[in-house]
């Protein structure tokens, strides 16, 4: 089932490797990502909390968000948007489950300059961020 | 006081290592016992200057925060707006709002300058300075003996500034008055009036939180119109108090005034359910797991931050015969170790009564070397803390140490500290070590609403500091005194004596009955130092010392303990609740583009080595898109 290496659909684990309503860290080419499993399926975010760098994969998952284990800063699982705080969001990644395996799309660009890199991430994020969504900051309980 | 301006200090004079005075450039000297040096902020404008952008003291910006290069904006401490460079945080938040509007092409939002004001956040100095503190007139009131000084500055009959030193009452009212340029007939009377102004008198438009620009009216509306009832909820919705935090007490007052403070303490703030209400539901319906409670009454479904509280409640009501759902627990209780600021964990083995032996110490020392423990720390609770252990090393280090969990990561019974008592001490009146060790065996493994730290002292010299523990026992001539509700951390409180008893067995019974009563009645995260005064000593004694009540408490304690004692959580090293309880997913290594793809997929044997596979050279040759990882965790 191996295809050639591309920026799309890297297999990161078998579905059962992530317990329901928990997250696990996976390091993809040196970059730590957090993969979460909920009853709505799998989600992937940058693992590093924008507040003090806590590992989001170790957070509590509820209400389509994860709360960082260090200081409870929350982020939306689907979009990485900050919920109820000012520390900024984290990058989301496309993730899908196929036949019991979990695949994450990590945008890659060989020899990319930093500026290009930022833009490319922006467009990757745009695929999963509903356009024009109002930030839910402050509406959390 | 003589103020000497426009002098250039050339030398600080001194002898024998002590300062004697200053010498200025003109040769004049000034005797001094103490020299304080204070510096301001210089705008960082090099980059702008090199780019040919107009600068003066700072980078010049217009009312939209645009520099002379319209596509370049400047804000904050580097920007100079209408001749003013701001060095405090509140104006910078205002800059940011206008800069954002400019970037989004929103017309209309223009920056007209900020009212400079500052509240000094230094211990024991209360100082507020607002606006133009000189003016052309005004009024002052000074009470030297109380180290208080208050001043209103006026210009053309309007208030333009104020200084409040020592007594900062009325800050918000005066701020609002300066902002609106209030016309004042009698400045001295106005100053007195401001001192009397409580939160009730503040106008609705008075800004309470300067970090986030929240006015009194916003807070009142959150309570009266949006139905928020606690300070926490109001802060979360309005964001008042979530910046520097200095306005939190005022936010709490305003919430109370608006009628929000009589609400009960909610276990689940999203669904507004109290501990008592949820407990009733669990008992009536026989729920055994957090998910069943969530399903039935919705608690734990929203923000999820109450899930650990629900997990405790379900376990406590079911006497630890509940169905454990680890996803409802904090990471500390999923892996039985305390997460540290860098994502590693700390390991504290059980060391009952603070007593160890050479065999344990050897194993601890060997394990510390083997697993690269970053620091071995003796804790205040007479135990040993191994800091900086990687999550996936936890099972192995526990195996090597071979001691049970010290529960230093959870809301649970922690240690029972002891002094050497009659075993060694020439002043000892009671066998503190034996009682400490016995109590730790008796209580260990039990979860509690908040951590419970205990101590046993063998005489009233109290070397184990038992009187400032959640539960403390002190030997006296002819018996023991049992204390509860002490604290010596963020709060300091001397515990209350619940009972003075003659025998060690009685002391154990009273202390254990109190522990169970606390387990059954305290709110999650409510430490005994809040719980004991809330319940009241009379009521507490009635519950814990009454023969029948005590027997019932001890029986329920026994039930809970039997199930809790059946498993040392560190034994999950041999029977994890999930194949990935302690491990991250295998790293995904990318081969060079164009190479055979097989290596990049899945837990290939070459990757399974874990850490070593994290950063092979070949993976680095591909550049990842997006911000670089900030340290690997």
pLDDT of res. B298: 83
The answer to whether residue B579 sits within a structural domain is: no
Write the CATH number for B320: 1.10.10.1100
For residue A86 the two structure tokens come to 């000012």
Q: What is the pLDDT of residues B501-534, one digit of tens each?
A: 999 999 999 999 999 999 999 988 889 998 999 8
In a domain, B573, yes or no: no
CB contact under 8 A, A101 and B579: no
The rounded percent of chain B whose pLDDT value lies above 70 is 91
Residue B407, in any domain of the structure? no
Choose the most confident range, by mean pLDDT, from B99-113, B531-545, B553-567. Answer: B531-545
The neighbouring-strand residues paired with A60 are A67
Per the domain annotation, does A132 fall within a domain? no
The model's pLDDT over A64-82, given as tens digits with 9 standing for 90+, comes to: 999 999 988 999 999 999 9
Question: Do B584 and A53 count as a contact with CB atoms less than 8 A apart?
Answer: no
Q: Is residue A70 in a domain?
A: yes
Total domains in chain A come to 1
* Mutation for testing the A interface, residue in B299, B626, B631, B632 having most A CBs under 10 Å: B626
Given pLDDT bands bounded at 50, 70 and 90, which one contains residue A120?
very low
Contact flag B584-A27 (C-beta cutoff 8 Å): yes
Top pLDDT among A121 and B20 is at: B20
pLDDT at B263: 56
Same domain, B502 and B474: yes
Instruction: Read off the pLDDT band of A138 (50, 70, 90).
Output: very low
Tokens of B531: 């719980």
- Same domain for B505 and B441? yes
Q: Write the pLDDT tens digit of every residue in B236-265.
A: 788 888 777 778 778 888 888 887 655 567
Same domain? For B441 and B536 the reply is yes
Best of A29, A35, A122 to mutate (most B CBs within 10 Å, chain B):
A29
pLDDT at residue A86 greater than cutoff 90: no
Residue B219 lies inside a defined structural domain of this protein: yes
Same domain, B68 and B93: yes
Are both B428 and B530 inside the same structural domain? Answer: yes
Q: Is residue A29 part of a domain?
A: yes
Q: Which of B13-22, B265-274, B536-545, B617-626 has the lowest mean pLDDT?
A: B617-626
On the question of pLDDT at B599 being above 60, the answer is no
Domain co-membership, B419 together with B560: yes
Last residue of a domain, one of B143, B162, B197: B197
Whether residues A60 and B597 touch (CB distance < 8 A) is answered with no
Token representation of residue B597: 């793809």
Higher pLDDT, B614 or B2: B2
Q: Are residues B490 and B431 in the same domain?
A: yes
Residues linked to residue A93 through DSSP beta bridges, in sequence order: A44
Specify the CATH number for the domain of residue A56: 2.102.10.10
Rounded to the nearest angstrom, the minimum Cα separation between A75 and chain B is: 11
Distance CA B215, CA B238 (A): 9
Q: Is residue A93 part of a domain?
A: yes
β-strands B413-418, B384-389 pairing:
unpaired
> In which domain, by residue range, is A63 found?
10-126
Name the CA radius of gyration of chain B, rounded. 32
Q: Tell me the C-alpha distance between A132 and A110, whole Å.
A: 31
The per-residue pLDDT for range B377-394, each reduced to its tens digit, is: 999 999 999 999 999 999
Measured N-to-C along each axis, helices B504-521 and B432-443 cross at an angle, to the nearest 10 degrees, of 40
If you average pLDDT over every residue of chain A, what do you get? 77
What is the ipTM score, two decimals?
Answer: 0.76
Q: What is the pLDDT of residues B340-381, one digit of tens each?
A: 999 999 999 999 999 999 999 999 999 999 999 999 999 999
Mutate which of A2, A19, A27 to test chain B, going by most B C-beta atoms within 10 A? A27
Query: How many domains in chain B?
Result: 8
If one counts every other C-beta atom within 10 angstroms of the C-beta of residue A26, the result is 25
B603: domain range? 589-628
Residues 313-342 of chain B whose Cβ lies under 8 A from any Cβ of chain A: 326-328, 330-332, 334, 339, 341-342
pLDDT in tens, A17-72: 999 999 999 998 788 999 999 999 999 999 999 999 999 999 999 989 999 999 88
Please say which residue of B148, B176, B197 terminates a domain.
B197
Do B555 and B475 share a domain, yes or no? yes
> Looking at the predicted structure, is the pLDDT value of residue B198 above 90?
no
- CATH number (domain holding residue B356): 3.90.480.10
Whether A81 maps to a domain, the answer reads yes
Are residues B276 and B252 located together in one domain of the fold? no
Same domain for B431 and B507, yes or no, is yes
Same domain, B433 and B495: yes
Total count of residues recorded for chain A: 141
* pLDDT of the residue at A136: 36
Give yes or no for residue B167 having a pLDDT over 90.
no
Q: Which of B148, B168, B197 represents a domain boundary (last residue)? A: B197
More confident residue, B579 or A4: B579
Structure token digits, residue B519: 């387990």
- Evaluate if pTM is beyond 0.90: no
Split at pLDDT 50, 70, 90, the class of B144 is: confident
pLDDT at B325 over 90: yes
Q: Give the pLDDT score at B556.
A: 94
Q: Are residues B259 and B321 in the same domain?
A: no
């Amino acid at each position: 089932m191996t295809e050639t290496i591309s920026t799309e659909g890297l297999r990161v684990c078998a579905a059962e490797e992530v317990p329901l309503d928990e997250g696990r860290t996976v390091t993809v080419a040196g970059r730590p990502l957090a993969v979460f499993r909920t009853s709505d399926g799998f989600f992937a975010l940058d693992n590093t909390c924008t507040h003090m760098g806590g590992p989001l994969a170790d957070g509590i998952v509820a209400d389509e968000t994860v709360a960082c284990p260090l200081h409870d800063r929350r982020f939306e699982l689907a979009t990485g948007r900050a919920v109820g705080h000012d520390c900024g969001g984290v990058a989301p990644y496309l993730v899908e489950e196929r036949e019991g395996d979990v695949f994450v799309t990590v945008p890659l660009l060989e020899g990319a300059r930093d500026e290009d890199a930022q833009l490319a991430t922006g467009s990757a994020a745009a695929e999963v961020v509903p356009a024009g969504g109002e930030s839910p900051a402050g509406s959390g309980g | 006081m003589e103020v000497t301006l426009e002098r250039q200090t050339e030398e600080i004079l001194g002898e024998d290592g002590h300062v004697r005075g200053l010498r200025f450039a003109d040769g004049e000297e000034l005797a001094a016992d103490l020299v304080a040096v204070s510096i301001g902020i210089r705008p960082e404008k090099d980059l702008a200057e090199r780019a040919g952008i107009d600068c003066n003291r700072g980078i010049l910006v217009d009312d939209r925060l645009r520099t002379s290069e319209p596509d370049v904006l400047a804000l904050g401490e580097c920007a100079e707006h209408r001749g003013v460079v701001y060095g405090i945080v509140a104006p910078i938040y205002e800059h940011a709002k206008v800069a954002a509007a400019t970037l989004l092409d929103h017309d209309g939002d223009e920056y007209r300058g900020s009212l400079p004001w500052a509240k000094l956040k230094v211990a024991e100095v209360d100082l507020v300075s607002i606006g133009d503190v000189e003016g052309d007139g005004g009024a002052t009131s000074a009470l030297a003996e109380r180290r208080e000084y208050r001043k209103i500055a006026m210009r053309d009959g309007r208030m333009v500034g104020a200084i409040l030193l020592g007594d900062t009452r009325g800050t918000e009212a005066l701020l609002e008055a300066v902002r609106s340029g209030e016309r004042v007939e009698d400045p001295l009377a106005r100053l007195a009036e401001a001192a009397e102004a409580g939160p009730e008198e503040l106008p609705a438009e008075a800004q309470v939180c300067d970090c986030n620009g929240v006015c009194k009216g916003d807070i009142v509306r959150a309570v009266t119109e949006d139905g928020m009832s606690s300070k926490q909820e109001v802060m979360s919705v309005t964001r008042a108090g979530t910046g520097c935090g200095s306005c939190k007490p005022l936010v709490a007052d305003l919430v109370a005034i608006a009628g929000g403070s009589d609400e009960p303490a909610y276990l689940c703030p999203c669904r507004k359910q109290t501990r008592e209400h949820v407990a009733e539901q669990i008992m009536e319906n026989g729920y055994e797991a957090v998910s069943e409670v969530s399903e039935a009454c919705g608690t734990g479904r929203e923000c999820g931050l109450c899930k650990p509280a629900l997990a405790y409640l379900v376990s406590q009501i079911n006497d630890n015969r509940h169905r454990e759902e680890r996803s409802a627990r904090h990471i500390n209780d999923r892996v039985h170790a305390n997460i540290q600021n860098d994502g590693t964990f700390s390991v504290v083995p059980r060391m009952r009564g603070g007593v160890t032996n050479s065999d344990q110490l050897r194993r601890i020392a060997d394990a510390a070397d083997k697993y690269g423990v970053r620091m071995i720390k003796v804790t205040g609770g007479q135990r040993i803390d191994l800091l900086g252990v990687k999550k996936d090393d936890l099972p192995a280090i526990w195996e090597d140490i071979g001691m049970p969990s010290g529960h230093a990561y959870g809301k649970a019974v922690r240690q029972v500290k002891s002094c050497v008592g009659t075993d060694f001490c020439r002043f000892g009146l009671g066998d503190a070590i034996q009682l400490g060790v016995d109590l730790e065996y008796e209580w260990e493994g039990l979860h509690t609403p908040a951590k419970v730290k205990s101590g046993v002292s063998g005489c009233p010299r109290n070397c184990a500091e038992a009187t400032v523990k959640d539960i403390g026992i002190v030997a006296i001539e002819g018996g023991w005194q049992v204390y509860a509700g002490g604290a010596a951390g963020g709060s300091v409180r001397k515990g209350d004596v619940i009972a003075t008893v003659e025998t060690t067995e009685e002391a154990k019974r009273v202390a254990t009955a109190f522990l169970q009563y606390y387990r059954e009645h305290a709110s999650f995260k409510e430490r005994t130092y809040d719980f004991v005064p809330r319940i009241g000593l009379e009521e507490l004694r009635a519950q814990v010392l009454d023969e029948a009540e005590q027997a019932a408490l001890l029986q329920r304690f026994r039930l809970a303990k039997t199930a809790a004692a059946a498993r040392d959580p560190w034994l999950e090293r041999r029977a994890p609740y999930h194949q990935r309880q302690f491990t991250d997913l295998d790293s995904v290594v990318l081969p060079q583009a164009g190479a055979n793809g097989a290596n990049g997929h899945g837990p290939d044997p070459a990757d399974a080595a874990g850490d070593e596979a994290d950063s092979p050279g070949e993976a680095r040759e591909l550049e990842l898109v997006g911000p670089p990882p900030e340290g690997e965790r």
